[in-house]
A and B are shown apart, each in its own frame.
Chain A
Amino acid sequence: MDKPKIKLVQNKLKPAPPCLLLATLLLWGWQTEYLFYSIVMGILLELPYFIKWRIDFNDKDINQLSDLSGILFFIVTVYIFVNYSFQGIYKILELLPFALFIIMLAQNYSIQNSIKTSALFISIRRLGNKAGPNILYNTNISLPYVCLCLISASSGNKYNDIFFFLSSLIIVWTLWNFRAKHYPFYLWLTPIVIVVIFSFLTQQGLQQLQTNAEVFFLNLFEQYGFKSQDPDRTSTSIGSLGRLKLSDRIVFRVKSDEELDSPLYFRETSYSKYEYGTWRNPKVEFDIVQKTPALKEWRINKQLKDNKYFDVAIFLQNQSSIIPVPDNINTLSGKDLIQVETSIFGSTRIEAREGWVSYRLGVSSKDFVETTPVTDDLTIPLNYQSDFKQIAEELELYTKTPEEIIISVARYFKDNFYYSTTQNQRYTRGQYLTKFLFKDKKGHCEYFATATALLLREAGIPTRYTIGYSVQEYSSWQKMYLVRARHAHSWLKYYINGEWHNLDTTPSIWAPMEAEDRTILEPLMDLLSWLRFKITGSDIDSETESNDWMIWLLIPLMTYLAYRFHNKQRIDTKKEASPNFGTNLKRFGEDSPIYPLVKRLEENADRRLPGETLNKWIKRILPELKAEKYIELINHHNRYRFSPTSDKQRDKQLIEKSLNLLT
């Protein structure tokens, strides 16, 4: 049957039209500030359209170039990840056009103007020629490269609208080559205009969507995550009905060199004035702490020496947040921190990027000095004055020394009150504490701290209501203390003998009671939280240990790659040595009398290259006049060896005759 003419559908990608690559690379260079490189790269990739010079790359050459690109890119990727952590992904994205440039260059300057899929995918390469035509085929990767450059250019994140229109232009330029030509031009142009307009609106919508989604989720998140406290006021749950339920979510993590003997309090801030369930301060001013240039740390407490260090990782929702710190904080250090401020009420505020932030806390033997008591530190709200007066009289506080007062007040709460997170009875506004003191005698830490603070004030001791966290839960597998939302706590500071001291009258049962409410999913949530914490790269170890050790991982990798290359080479050499490897096939004409002569000439002159014909080789190694004498001999040999119709016996005789003449 005669072969009929069949017009198959072209289902391979066409090469990019002239100048498209240059335009795309310019856009990339302009966005990522690699403009110089992009011009050079673009010109080099476009030149083959204008010159005819080409290189005869074979598949192996292309494979090796592809491997080289891959290895270089891998090394760069590792390096960037070590230095930039997760944020490095955008840096890698920026560099992608460099990664594929070598292979693009090889493609554009090759005779085939395409590369095999096996050059890009080692899995296909391993299948060899047995891989079917559906997998192993020649393709031109110019247009995928254009798309890659566009995505890469987008990581520059500059000139929002201009980038949109330029990238649209490049995409439209690309599509022009693929349009269905049987349609009239307007049927192509109209949808294109519609696409550009709608895309512009969509991308604006996406930006707005993200803003709205962020607001929504941040509002949602605030209920569970770490929320930076307002240094001016804090609302308590005093008077709230129902059960006080705090989340199991991990708010921050603390790594300590030594195990803690007892729960450690990390305070956030202190407040002076109490009114209707809210503690307040006058407008609090923060002072900037200057960074010590030599030590790269912020010295908050002006103590010379740190006794101990805590590494803390915390998830910040705002760039400026008050962080929980121990009372005896001395120094703060960490590459995530931009600025550190302190207030006279003992709050420490940091400025850092949003997300997981880690820092190192140095503590000394002396507590941070808060401002001396102000009038508000002795003020009791009018509606509670009589209540506290009554208790103070009962406890005979007016006749005791400050130290005795502290002891008797602490004992009073310990002996007469118990811890409860549930409040079922509704009371009139302004009488919550009265009911706590005289009727219910139960409540959570905010009740205890507030009541104690006000009672001590009645006895003439200045107090401040303090909020923060109790660090007590150690995770043996994460090797650090986990501080959950339910570990949020409040206590008070009292001022005697010219110093502020902590007092916590909440029964110590509070923590185990809170822990009873944890969900069965807590271990799973902890694991997810830990994974997220690890992935985002804010490992609190990173402060003390450099990630540079990861570079050493490259050594075994490079050794392995070198071995693979060497091994491959070795196998190839073997194959070259025995071309009939695996078969005993004898080719006709191998007994030609010319071969001993060839061998002799190879010993005296240059070796014949693989694929070099005898004619070419003779002309290369011998002077022109001498080489011509061999041509007839080679023609006889070629006829003897390859011609299907010639008289082999006669050919052999002719070869021998020519040989005799030559010798």
Chain B
Amino acid sequence: MLRRFLFANFKIVYRLNQWMRQRFTPAGMLILLTMPVAGVFGFDTRSTLSFQLFSITLILLITSISLSTFFRGKFSIERKLSDYGTVGSPFYYVCKINNINKKPGKGLILIDDLNSSFPTIDEFAKAQDPLDKNRNRLDRFIGYPRLMNAIQKRRGGSIAPVSIDFIAENSSSEEHIKFTPLRRGYLYFEKTRLAQVDPLGLFQSQKLFEHKDSLLILPRLYKTPSLNIRGKRTYQQGGINNASSSGDSQEFVSLRDYRPGDPIRSIHWKSYAKTNKPIVKEYNDEFFIRYGLVLDTYLDNKAEDIFEDAVSIAASFMTAQKEQDALLDLMFIGNNSYRFTSGRGLGGTENILEVLACIEPVYESNIKSMELMLKNYSHECSGLICIFLNLDDERKKFLNTLSAFNIPVKVLVVTESDEFDFDKLPSSIETYIIHHDNLQHDLDKIN
């Protein structure tokens, strides 16, 4: 009840805060904040003279807001985005502003913003903020900073307003905009605003342009070591379909008598004609190396940062595959079991990265489903890399099951701490701890 009440108030406070931040200049904010303080102390006009300051600040703001209504003129805006951005790397794009007026545009401000929809109360309840542990109890209980963090994450970044000093009449100006994406996945642009400050420099008048766009932000990539798993080549049931261009593809071995069930297209018609009995062509079986990359999505109570690290590591392995002859299957459990294959000309890097860009953590254990998926996969797999978010008993049990498949397994545990014990782990499994703070260094240590 209290939570709902607070949440309803957060909405009002957030919107008011957003409006003030977008509309008032720093000087305007200073005047705006001075006004209520002066008002409180000046409530009794006989005790202090603060009411005079209240009057000045109030009239200043009223005048400033009134003056801002004189912002006139016709403009149009086009946004030119490239296809992809990467988390944590600055992203540049261009906005073209057309001034369709007979007067030049002066002192304009271009504000492009990402859509920041307000989370639902359930989403807010589930939201995690790694900084929460550094906050005081009241902040943690009230949860407003956590909500702000959740909104910021949903938005995916903040775009700083750009100043445009001058646009000549009936001409256009191309403005470069830079921002740093904070999360992977699709970021949505909805509106662009063109603002102009009033003569007193306190309040901005704004024109709104509906302008929807989306941008895919890919996970951060790291330098990954060679997979180097002691696996052997395995028979691939999919045969040539999984290896269209290289390897032991469609190599003719011999002719033999037809057996029921052989495909008609395998019949060697010339021999059939000579011998008058069906003879079929026999091909070599498809044997090649196929690695599986298991990405653990069960986040439990861990910080979301380590999930991001795990996704980045998975993306790095998937894109920087060194063994061209090998296939690499990315497997994870979301709403369903997913398996995406790359290597040997299959599954373009862009597609895999798009999949990884949109992957979300799961808060209910899915290790059982993962186990089931791997049981069906183990016979065609040469080796496995598991990227785990924890090394609890459930996962250890899972690894023990894997060891029974007799395939080499490397486990990378992404963590913020060192608090794991490696007891009960099968000796055949190589385990590496990847620290959140020291990720690249720890990756380099993997053989």
Contact between B52 and A164, CB atoms less than 8 A apart: yes
B60-A123 in contact (CB<8A): no
Q: Please report which residues of chain A, range 546-582, place their CB below 8 angstroms from some CB of chain B when the two chains form the complex.
A: 582
**How far, in Å, is B65 (CB) from chain A's closest CB?**
11
Q: What residues of chain A lie closer than 8 Å to B53, measured between beta carbons?
A: 150-151, 154, 167
Q: Verify B52–A9 contact, CB threshold 8 A.
A: no
What residues on A are CB-neighbors of B177 within 8 Å?
6
A574 to chain B, nearest CB (A): 18
A127 part of interface (Cβ distance < 8 Å)? yes
What separation, in Å, do the CA atoms of A156 and B49 have in the docked complex?
A: 8
Q: Is A160 an interface residue (CB 8 A)?
A: yes
How many interface residues does B have (CB within 8 Å)?
A: 63
Question: Smallest distance from the beta carbon of A550 to chain B beta carbons, Å?
Answer: 24
Given contacts A6-B177, A143-B30, A583-B438, contact A178 B202 (CB under 8 A): yes
Q: Per DSSP, are chain A's interface residues mostly helix, strand or loop, or mixed?
A: helix
Closest Cβ of chain A: how far from B50's Cβ, in Å? 4
Alpha-carbon separation in the docked complex, A167 to B49 (Å): 10
Q: A154 contacts B41, CB within 8 Å?
A: yes
Partner of B50, one of A7, A123, A154, A168: A154
Which of A90, A155, A163, A180 has the most chain B CB within a 10 Å cutoff?
Answer: A180
Is A8's CB under 8 angstroms from B59's CB?
no
Find out whether the CB atom of A192 lies under 8 angstroms from the CB atom of B162: no
**Contact, CB under 8 Å: B92 / A1:** yes
Q: What chain A residues lie within 8 Å of B376 (beta carbons)?
A: none
Say if the beta carbon of A593 comes within 8 Å of chain B.
no
Contact status of A210 and B55, CB under 8 A, knowing A5-B176, A6-B176, A6-B178 = no
Residue of B nearest to A196 (CB): B56
Tell me whether B136 and A178 are in contact (CB under 8 A).
Answer: no
A195:B197 contact, CB within 8 angstroms: no
The segment out of A42-50, A200-208, A379-387 that lies at the interface is: A200-208
A80 smallest CB distance to B (angstroms):
15
Cβ of B112 under 8 Å from chain A: no
* Interface mask (A169-198 → B, CB under 8 Å = 1, otherwise 0): 001001101111111000110011011101
Chain B contacts for A171, CB-based, 8 A: 56-57, 60
Q: Is A199 an interface position by the 8 A CB rule?
A: yes
Q: Is A611 an interface residue (CB 8 A)?
A: no
CA distance A128 to B135 in the complex (A): 10
In Å, the complex CA distance between A177 and B441 comes to: 50
Query: Provided the pairs A150-B53, A151-B34 are in contact, do residues A8 and B199 lie with their beta carbons within 8 angstroms?
Result: no
B126 within 8 A of A: no
Query: Nearest chain A CB to B38's CB is how many angstroms away?
Result: 6
Taking CB atoms and an 8 Å cut-off, the chain A residues in 137-177 that contact chain B are 143-144, 147, 150-151, 153-157, 160, 163-164, 167-168, 171, 174-175, 177
- In the complex the two chains form, what is the Cα distance from A153 to B52 in whole Å? 11
In whole angstroms, what is the CA distance A127 to B131 when docked?
A: 6
Chain B 35-74, CB-CB to A under 8 Å as 1, else 0, gives: 0011001101111111111111111100110010000000
Contact A585–B48 (Cβ < 8 Å): no
> How many angstroms between the C-alpha atoms of A147 and B60 in the bound complex?
14
Selected from B92, B136, B197, the residue in CB contact (under 8 A) with A4 is: B92
Q: State the CA gap A659–B361 with chains docked (Å).
A: 58
By a CB distance below 8 angstroms, the chain A residues around B58 are: 199, 202
Whether A202 lies near B41 (C-beta < 8 A) is no
Residue A132 at the chain B interface, CB threshold 8 Å = yes
Chain A residues near B33 (CB, 8 Å)? 147
The answer to whether A195 and B60 touch across the interface, beta carbons within 8 angstroms, is: yes
Q: Does A11 contact B (CB under 8 A)?
A: yes
A8 to B53, CA, bound (A): 32
- The yes or no answer to B165 lying at the interface (CB within 8 A) is yes
Assembled-state Cα–Cα distance A585/B440 (Å): 12
Separation of A227 and B48 alpha carbons in the complex (Å): 28
Q: How far does the alpha carbon of A126 sit from the alpha carbon of B197 in the complex, in Å?
A: 36
B199 touches A183 (CB 8 A): yes
Asked whether B27 lies within 8 Å of A175 as measured between CB atoms, the reply is: yes
Write out the residue numbers on chain A whose beta carbons fall within 8 Å of the beta carbon of B26: 10-14, 178
Q: Cβ of A203 and Cβ of B55 under 8 Å apart?
A: yes
Nearest A residue (CB) for B164: A7
Q: Are B200 and A192 in contact (CB under 8 A)?
A: yes
B264 to nearest A CB, angstroms? 55
> A206–B55 contact, CB under 8 A?
yes
Does B378 sit within 8 A of A, measured CB to CB?
A: no
Within 8 Å of chain A (Cβ to Cβ): is B139? yes
Indicate if A131 sits at the interface (CB-CB under 8 A). Answer: yes
When distances are taken between beta carbons in the complex, the residues of chain B under 8 Å from A10 are: 26, 163
Interface residues of A in 1-44 (CB under 8 A from B): 1, 3-14, 31
Q: Which 4 A-B pairs have the closest CB atoms?
A: A178-B201, A4-B176, A178-B27, A182-B107
Q: Which A residues are within 8 Å of any B CB, using their own CB? A: 1, 3-14, 31, 90, 93, 123, 126-128, 130-132, 134, 143-144, 147, 150-151, 153-157, 160, 163-164, 167-168, 171, 174-175, 177-183, 187-188, 191-192, 194-196, 198-200, 202-203, 206-207, 210, 582-583, 585
Given A182-B107, A206-B54, list of 13 further CB < 8 A pairs? A10-B163, A13-B26, A126-B134, A131-B131, A151-B34, A156-B49, A163-B49, A175-B27, A179-B199, A180-B201, A191-B199, A206-B45, A582-B437
In the assembled complex, 9 residue pairs joining A and B whose CB atoms fall closer than 8 Å, in A order, are A8-B162, A10-B26, A126-B136, A151-B50, A156-B49, A171-B56, A178-B202, A203-B51, A585-B441
